[in-house]
A and B are shown apart, each in its own frame.
Chain A
Amino acid sequence: MAAEIVATVAAASGLVAVLEGVASATSLTVIYLLAVLFVAIRRGEVPGLATALFSVLATNFLFIEPRYRLTIAQSENVVALVVFLIAAVVVGRLAARSRQRAAESEERAAIADAREKEAQVLADAASLMLVSGSLESELDTIARSLGPVVGGPLRLELAGSPKPADDESSLRLPMRGQPAWLYARHDADREVIERIAEPLARLLDVGLERRRLTEQTAEAEAVRRAEVAKTAVLHAVSHDLRSPLTAIVTAGSALQTDNLSDGDRRELLSVIDSESGRLSRLVDDLLDLSRIEAGAVSPRPDWCDLKDVVARAADQVAASHGDHPIEIRLPDDLPLVRVDTVQAERVFSNLIDNAIKFSPPDVPVTISGGSSPAGVTVRVSDRGPGIPSSARRDVFEPFFRGRGQQSGSGLGLAISRGFVEANGGRITLASRKGEGTAFAVTFPRAEIASPAPT
């Protein structure tokens, strides 16, 4: 600073010396005022005073006769000194104040900038949380986006007690409910962290509350669906069990009538016979379904040739459906799979039975198939009316019945899906209105450990 003062005064002196030929030196001393103002504006009051003093000395020494000697008590010198000193003080103070204001506003701008960045990051975090379904999965993203704002990596955790790493300090977020912790490295900006803690906590509160509400809604929806399903099951069971039962009771009661003709007796016995069979199949289906729903299917996988299984299933269906044509077109080299043979047979007999029910008379049900790296597929297709897209999701639900379909328990497809899935397979449905329906069952390809001996 002293160097600046000296240089400024020297420059002023030089200027005076240059201009001395034009005007009297005494009148040129005003140039030193410029030096004083220059220093006072740049450096403030005290350096300004020093410059003033030095300038007076320099004038005295350099330009006032006798030159190159300091002569005190020159009245004009004293006046100049006083004017310089006043100018230095006044200008120095004014300059200092304006410099201070400038510095303050600069600082404010910087803070505003930082806050804006924090707010932006918090807003991003909020929108992230609103878009995302899971709060936990977003905690890392939020923490990462906050990192640059606090000058170091952050971690967020929803936990009862803090578990900071060695180089981290933890801060408990002021949450309303569930506790949450913010971990930051020791060199992070503590002030910023404390400032964002509050809004971050509110944000997490909202996120948690939102998750709670979502869960509640899902739960309520699940309860409602379960209620609907239960009612449907109850209704279906009561109707399906009671109809054959009523037919049997009615026929049994009629058999007790005196003087029945032989024809009537045969008629009633055939009612009892067919309805008992229906009842027994329904009870079997209900047992299978409850086993499936209880997850107690426990398949016994074995090497299984699906061609065999399909043939047996087709025979079984033919036994009850008479002579509806069934075309089996499975490739000879269909790979073996490992599934429970009995359950697989149930699956295909259900599917074939179903296909026949929806087929026009004498239009064959076709069974085709093939294999891909993913698995071995068998497809049961009918040329029936097709399943409207609105109902496709429901056909696998228990007690769902096709339009106008009265016979059958409405359990066949639910049981089929249960067995297929228990055996690691998938069952899918393709249908076009008016053209028919195909159910495709795909079982995973089994690895054959060693080739069969030939």
Chain B
Amino acid sequence: MTSDGARVLVVDDELQILRGLKVILRNAGYTVETAATKGEALDAVSVRPPDVLVLDLILPDGSGVEVCEEIRTWSNLPILVVSAVGDEREKVRALDAGADDYITKPFGGDELTARLRALLRRSTDTAASPSVKIGDLEVDFSAHAVTSAGSEVHLTPIEFDLLRVLAQNRGKLVTQRHLLQDVWGPGYEEEGHYLRVHIAHIRAKIEPDPARPRYVITEPGVGYRLRESY
């Protein structure tokens, strides 16, 4: 559970939530800083950028969406937005504005640290690792091969590409737009129905029970996520 002292900036105006988060994150090995407003958050990020930003969407002096937009003009810093049921539209706007993932209130410590771990992994081991193993599922990027419980799974090139993008970002939300652009190329960003069809095919081939997927999780209205561990 160690995170090598990565620095997390938590932006939330609820002091009581910050108190709990600080304990959780410190115990998970992070160095924690906090900000209570949009202004404080932008100041803190520009003075000394953290390794990852946890950002509440509703702030007293503005919206987390504006923070995302502002930061994305000059930084690729991973951003995890904290949304609530009812904030769906803001959440989608934040993701469109460049946030990397979201977590819904109320959340537990494990869920939060898992998301942060996935976000922080991005820059380090995506390119390096030749294969990814999740439960019984193994995706071998170099061999273009997928095995499930030891037996080979035959995927079409499109299906393999989709699973590859999800596996390289395992544990992380991958937006529809991202998937469509990566797999089909520019100009296909609005063709969400391609995804529905091909994701259904992939599930039929790799999920023990395709009706209740364990590996490829739908994030309604936003995208998909390959579960990190099973």
Contact = CB atoms under 8 A, between A and B. Distances in A.
Contacts of A243: 14, 16-17
B71 to A, nearest CB: 23
B16 A247 contact: yes
A247 B23 contact: no
Contacts of A248: 106
Given A244-B16, A253-B110, A267-B23, 7 more contacts: A242-B85, A243-B16, A247-B17, A250-B20, A250-B106, A250-B107, A268-B19
19 contacts: A234-B86, A238-B84, A238-B86, A242-B106, A243-B16, A246-B105, A246-B107, A247-B16, A249-B107, A250-B17, A251-B19, A254-B20, A254-B24, A254-B109, A260-B27, A264-B26, A268-B19, A274-B16, A406-B13
Contacts of B110: 253
A268 B105 contact: no
Contact of B20 (A238, A247, A404, A406): A247
B60 interface: yes
A259 B27 contact: yes
A268 B16 contact: no
Contact of A254 (B23, B60, B85): B23
Given A246-B14, A247-B16, A406-B13, A260 B106 contact: no
A392 interface: no
B24 A253 contact: yes
Contact of B27 (A235, A247, A257, A275): A257
Interface residues of B, number: 22
A268 B110 CA distance: 16
B195 to A, nearest CB: 30
A249 B60 contact: no
B18 to A, nearest CB: 9
Interface string B195-219: 0000000000000000000000000
B161 to A, nearest CB: 37
Contacts of B13: 406
Contacts of B14: 243, 246-247
B16 A271 contact: yes
Which residue, of A244, A246, A260, has the highest number of chain B Cβ atoms within 10 A?
Answer: A246
B92 interface: no
Contact of A242 (B21, B24, B60, B105): B105
B58 interface: yes
Contact of B109 (A234, A238, A253): A253
Rank and list the top 5 A-B pairs by shortest CB-CB distance, nearest first.
Answer: A250-B20, A251-B20, A247-B16, A249-B106, A253-B109
Nearest to B82: A246
A248 B115 CA distance: 20
Contacts of B84: 238-239, 242
Contacts of B24: 250, 253-254, 257
Interface string A227-244: 000000011001100111
A257 B23 contact: yes
A320 to B, nearest CB: 16
Nearest to B26: A264
Interface string A208-237: 000000000000000000000000001100
B23 A264 contact: yes
B21 to A, nearest CB: 6
Nearest to A243: B14
A215 B118 CA distance: 58
A86 interface: no
B62 interface: no
B106 A235 contact: no
B108 interface: yes
